[in-house]
Amino acid sequence: MSGHPLSVPGTDGFSRRRFLAGTGSLLGAAALAAHTAGPARAEVPGLDLTPVPDGSHVRALVIGTGYGGSVAALRLARAGVDVHMIEMGQAWDTPGPDGKVFANTTKPDYRSFWLRGRTKQPLSQFLGFPLDKDVPCHTGILDAEDFAGITVYQGRGVGGGSLVNGGMAVTPLRDRFPEILPTVDPAEMYATYYPRANAGLGVTEVDQNWWEGADAYQYARVGRKHAQRSGFPFVFVPNVYDWDYMKQEAAGAVPKSALAGEVIYGNNHGKKSLQKTYLAQAAATGRVSVSALHRVTSVSPAATGGYTVAIDQIDTTGAVLATKTVRADRVFFAAGSVGTSKLLTRLKATGALPGLNEHIGKGWGDNGNVMCGRANHMWDPTGKLQSAMPTAGIDNWEAGGAFAEVAPLPTGIETYASFYLSITRTPRRAEFSWNPATGRVDLSWDRAWKQTSIDMAKSIFDKINAKEGTIYRSDLFGAYKIWGDHLTYHPLGGAVLDRATDNHGRLHGHPGLYAIDGSLIPGNTSVNPFVTITALAERNIERIIAEDF
């Protein structure tokens, strides 16, 4: 499903907006833009955004609006259950002063980062220059959440990670599945739940004929040439971007989005985020409402049955406006691997949910993420126009334990650089623990553990460099630093399936509590994770609805 109109705000809307801005009426400009800039609106038509009243009772409460949460909400609502979703991020339905909902990747501003006064860009340097800058502290879209050994990047807002990710929608090879989720029947996943997830997410393949000639994918074709010359399998991967829209971007017929480099701070057009797929369908049931800028702080058994959920309502500076208590018959933890793990770890340690078992907070992994760039020769330009939506990868999983996404470096200038995000088969797993002294949840990740992932990624890039006579870039992650080993985009685990929960996500010890997001997956999916998170949620919610409601 597509959902975005291909019609664009005409010159009329644009010039009126500029006129208003010129008269100093920024507020007026934003308000007008909200009515004229159709495709820039990210809100879900019909979604009830009425904040939950203090003291209310809900049948099913979902914490978080990412993949797991959206699947749960849609399927519960279709089964006739009223659902309320609590989302700590914004609704992302209001354009900023520039008429756009989301900021551009090259120009982060107050919309870009979650409650930090300075950006923390995944690529922190370029050609020796630091890229980070001060921004107003705001409930922006990308959270760079720091733990002792790793920064975990996550999406914040209605739509969760779907708002900021690259849209790479990869179903793992079936013979690798038993390694990913050993207690799940592959037959049912590949016959029913992966196809259901792919359909629900609007996953499609790029038109390869168009791709072969598209300026915006020159970087990917260079990536293919180098991979193939070194004997590595080069694979196309599906995406949730609307390829027809991208073709129109390339033709100059619509406002540019992927071709303007939009990705990690949101995508104003073209990408089918959850707002356009699962959440739009959930809204259409009339049974789903969302409290945005509301953060769940506690869940505990209620004396009258069900659970008492404590919620902070916050403003866009993060200040608490109100504290609410809601009673829910059933609660779905879909706050993402880190969000769900942090909540459950604290609630177990502080006695709010004493029945949770010893597996809570364990089995967390980074999907083996590590980044690097290569410096190409002058005769191998990667193009100054680079689509922000990746379409391909280099698969050396069997031989070297690495699957490398051929990623864009959408700087707007020719960099002669090839850039890669590798997913590796690292065995490293960390654990969340409650720290009463700081009142925070810590993660036991050690930066040195990334060496395993670097070695696996080198199984691809050392060979390519040797073959091509090229070298690694050392100016992207710090001065003379080759490997982006400080971060992950793919947090997984912390409430692992069939350990912290039963084999369908029911948390042990507290009937009516479920985990239904990336926290269920024990640390690695061999490819980008959101299709697997969605498919597993589809599998689990079907059983939960059939047996528990």
Does residue 368 bind ligand FAE (CB under 6 A)?
no
Residues 155 and 142: their CA atoms lie apart, in Å, by 5
1: helix, strand or coil: coil
Contacts to ligand FAE from residues 266-325, by CB under 6 A: 295-296
Burial degree of 329 (CB within 10 A; 0-12, 13-18, 19+): middle
CB of 44 to ligand FAE, least distance (A): 14
Whether 521 contacts 493, CB under 8 Å = yes
- In DSSP terms, 325 is beta-bridged to 310
Mode of pairing for the β-strands spanning 129-130 and 125-126: antiparallel
From 251-259, 396-404, 446-454, 523-531, give the range in contact with ligand FAE by CB under 6 A.
523-531
Which of 38/149 has CB closer to ligand FAE?
Answer: 149
Question: Is residue 517 a contact point for ligand FAE (CB under 6 A)?
Answer: yes
Binding region for ligand FAE (CB under 6 A) out of 73-81, 103-111, 150-158, 178-186: 150-158
Site for ligand FAE in 217-276 (CB under 6 A): 264
Question: Which residue in the set 51, 99, 160, 172 belongs to the binding site for ligand FAE (CB under 6 A)?
Answer: 160
Q: Is there a contact between 147 and 446 (Cβ–Cβ < 8 Å)?
A: no
Query: Can 490 be counted among the known catalytic residues?
Result: yes
Q: Which of 87, 405, 431, 538 is catalytic?
A: 405
83-87 and 370-375 as β-strands: parallel, antiparallel, unpaired?
Answer: unpaired
Smallest distance, ligand FAE to C-beta of residue 129, A: 22
Q: Distance of CA 477 to CAs 121, 125, 450, Å? A: 10, 6, 15
Is residue 388 a contact point for ligand FAE (CB under 6 A)? no
Distance, CA of 463 to CA of 187 (rounded, Å): 36
For residue 390, the SS3 value is: coil
Beta strands 320-333 and 513-515 are parallel
Total of chain residues touching ligand FAE, rule CB under 6 A: 39
Write the DSSP symbol of residue 247: H
Question: In angstroms, rounded to a whole number, what is the distance separating the alpha carbons of residues 363 and 394?
Answer: 27
Closest to ligand FAE by CB, 64 vs 255, is 64
518 makes contact with ligand FAE (CB under 6 A): yes
DSSP classification of residue 441: E
With CB under 6 A as the contact rule, the residue among 51, 64, 410, 484 that binds ligand FAE is: 64
Residues 44-63 that bind ligand FAE (CB under 6 A): 63
Q: Which is nearer to ligand FAE, 67 or 232 (CB)?
A: 67
Which residues, 71 to 130, sit near ligand FAE by CB under 6 A? 86-89
| Chosen residue from 161, 361, 383, 400 binding ligand FAE by CB under 6 A | 161
Which of 276, 272, 444 has the alpha carbon at shortest distance from 363?
444
Candidate residues 36, 337, 345, 382; the one interacting with ligand FAE per rule CB under 6 A: 337
- Is 405 assigned a catalytic role? yes
Q: Among residues 20, 62, 135, 168, which is the contact residue for ligand FAE, using CB under 6 A?
A: 168
Minimum separation from the CB atom of position 293 to ligand FAE (A): 9
Q: Distance between CA 283 and CA 85 in Å, rounded?
A: 11
Q: Alpha-carbon Rg of the chain, whole angstroms?
A: 22
**The binder of ligand FAE chosen from 36, 39, 51, 67 (CB under 6 A):** 67
Beta bridge partners of 168: 239
Q: Does 166 engage in binding with ligand FAE (CB under 6 A)?
A: yes
420 lines the binding site for ligand FAE (CB under 6 A)? no
Cα(337)–Cα(231) distance, integer angstroms: 36
Catalytic residue among 226, 486, 490, 504: 490
Residues of the shown chain interacting with ligand FAE in the complex, contacts defined by CB under 6 A: 63-68, 86-89, 153-157, 160-161, 164-168, 264, 295-296, 334-337, 339, 343, 489-490, 517-518, 528-530, 533
Question: Active-site residues: which are they?
Answer: 405, 490
